[in-house]
Structure 1
């Protein structure tokens, strides 16, 4: 298992770095593929509870949502979300007892949780994309830098939380949801994300105040994203969301925290950094 995890990381990290830094159509396409794979995982998990996810609707609308993010038009995104809700409700009426209110509710949950959240990776990557930051590692577009803050901050939060929780953890954080997580680990993750983002922010020429706040934001939001997916997996009775990543589980297993962190960083950047 450890060998598979290491091999996946050795292959995946350089590929991810290239795709993020290159951007353009390659990045958007990669996010779309991840979105559709995550949607399929969500659909498969809910089958264990005999919940009939509106698969085709979600598949199509997730593509449209990613397209709206690529275009950068929030009004179109709002329209798609409204259409999603409308079509799911219409299907309740037209299908009789074959598609229930519960089915519609979980279908919409999946579209918003997966489609809209993944779309924020595209939105963040192309934020202030015409601006470039000169670093000791070369020039980087501002959007790529912001996305690296989200990814590396999440990695720091998870890593520090794991080691602090393993060696110092005594008090359970959410024992009914994730028995392994501790309050000490969560605090360690919070501290770790702040330290790492302050260092990274210095490289990207961000003010220390913004870096500290974003580090705190990541340290708070990342474990919430992790716990949300744990709730879904516990509800559906599965250990992993999928098996596509050897040693790591599924797409949702790897992106659970990112799906919360990226929107948080995106809205912070737009509210306080870009002026």
Structure 2
């Protein structure tokens, strides 16, 4: 088929097979989230429940340390999936939810590893409720606490290879815990409009990246076959983290961000740091919103790549299966973890 044929640029139909599930999840989720964001308590509850689920999914993303770990995880995963597949009644539904949240790790954890997870969860939840100026101190002491658990007398004789677990949870403190801290701060200090602005820009940017990435996927693969050595440093870096990531996808996200920012009915406050960047001399509200959308979409990509690198190490495609067509909750929040911090300091700090 000639490259000039427009159909050669279209993604194969199977690429879009998850669209019905995606639309169903979005159709139910977006109105529900919008309603919860209107009130402080319901928005706080939404973020903290999402936070707890993210912690459980993060536990399931601990990289295996060897062949035995992989085999043990596969055995338990098979049991969990079998339990999830059985039953069509309420008990069957409970089994499915349990299998999704506790997947292939929980039953195989040692006492030391379970203790590390409890400490990680406690520290993470605490970090979302402390004043922002104390956050660096909290991250440091939480990381130290995780490092010291293995020296408690009860665990000194443990043969568990916990160093990978400790490092994984320490990164989780920086990535997930800090991310949720700032999401809650934005809702508290900026109200429903500002947290809505952040969610709209970042999730629309993710959607733009998905659509353009899939539309150009066939063309991209066709032109990259047999040319791995000529990819360039950046594309090789990108593919090493996530084989599914494409340059068109990144462009789609970066372009959609500023457009989404313009569409959202909110103005950048005159007191915002973005308005007072002296070397840019940004006084035009439209230009401010375009720059805000561009920055958030670019920073959101970094958050997405951070989670992709963790999934790559753990051998997982998604962080979970709780959201049909979208993967897990961490998959939906990955870009928000980094974009939320930047939004807070650009707009509200």
Q: Is the TM-score greater than 0.5?
A: yes
Deviates more, 1:170-179 or 1:27-36: 170-179
**With CA pairs under 8 Å and 6+ residues apart, which has the higher RCO, 1 or 2?**
2
Distance 1:230 1:187 in 2: 18
Is 1:217 aligned to 2:295, yes or no? yes
Q: Structure 1 residues 85, 175: CA separation in 2 closer, same or farther (over 3 Å shift)?
A: closer
Q: Look up the match of 1:19.
A: 36
Q: Look up the match of 1:32.
A: 48
Deviates more, 1:175-184 or 1:90-99: 90-99
Q: Look up the match of 2:128.
A: 66
Asked if 1 retains the 8 angstrom alpha-carbon contact of 2:62 and 2:164, the reply is: no
Q: Structure 1 residues 184, 242: CA separation in 2 closer, same or farther (over 3 Å shift)?
A: closer
Is 1:258 aligned to 2:336, yes or no? yes
Q: Look up the match of 1:139.
A: none
**C-alpha offsets along residues 228-248 of structure 1, whole Å, 9 cap, x if unaligned?**
111111100112111212222
Counterparts of 1:165-180 in structure 2 under 5 Å?
A: 165-168=213-216, 170=220, 173=235, 174-180=238-244
Is 1:154 aligned to 2:170, yes or no? no
Asked if 1 retains the 8 angstrom alpha-carbon contact of 2:267 and 2:289, the reply is: no
Asked if 1 retains the 8 angstrom alpha-carbon contact of 2:202 and 2:335, the reply is: yes
**C-alpha offsets along residues 157-203 of structure 1, whole Å, 9 cap, x if unaligned?**
22222333334463774222223322233223212211221232xx2
Q: Look up the match of 1:2.
A: 19
Two-structure CA RMSD over aligned residues (Å)? 2.3
Q: Look up the match of 1:230.
A: 308
Asked if 2 retains the 8 angstrom alpha-carbon contact of 1:241 and 1:249, the reply is: yes
- The number of aligned residues is 250
Extract unaligned runs of 5+ from structure 2. Answer: 1-17, 70-108, 225-230, 269-284
Counterparts of 1:263-274 in structure 2 under 5 Å?
A: 263-270=341-348
Residue number among 190, 199, 207 corresponding to 2:263 in the alignment: 199
Asked if 1 retains the 8 angstrom alpha-carbon contact of 2:63 and 2:313, the reply is: no
Distance 1:10 1:123 in 2: 27
Q: Which has the larger radius of gyration?
A: 2
Extract unaligned runs of 5+ from structure 1. Answer: 129-142
Q: Look up the match of 1:188.
A: 252
Which structure has greater strand proportion? 1
Q: Look up the match of 2:142.
A: 84
Asked if 1 retains the 8 angstrom alpha-carbon contact of 2:201 and 2:296, the reply is: yes
TM-score (norm 2): 0.65
Deviates more, 1:189-198 or 1:41-50: 41-50
How big is the shift at 1:41? 0.7
How big is the shift at 1:117? 0.9
Q: Structure 1 residues 188, 246: CA separation in 2 closer, same or farther (over 3 Å shift)?
A: closer
SS at match of 1:205: coil
TM-score (norm 1): 0.81
Q: Look up the match of 2:173.
A: 111
Residue number among 208, 213, 223 corresponding to 2:286 in the alignment: 208
How big is the shift at 1:99? 6.2
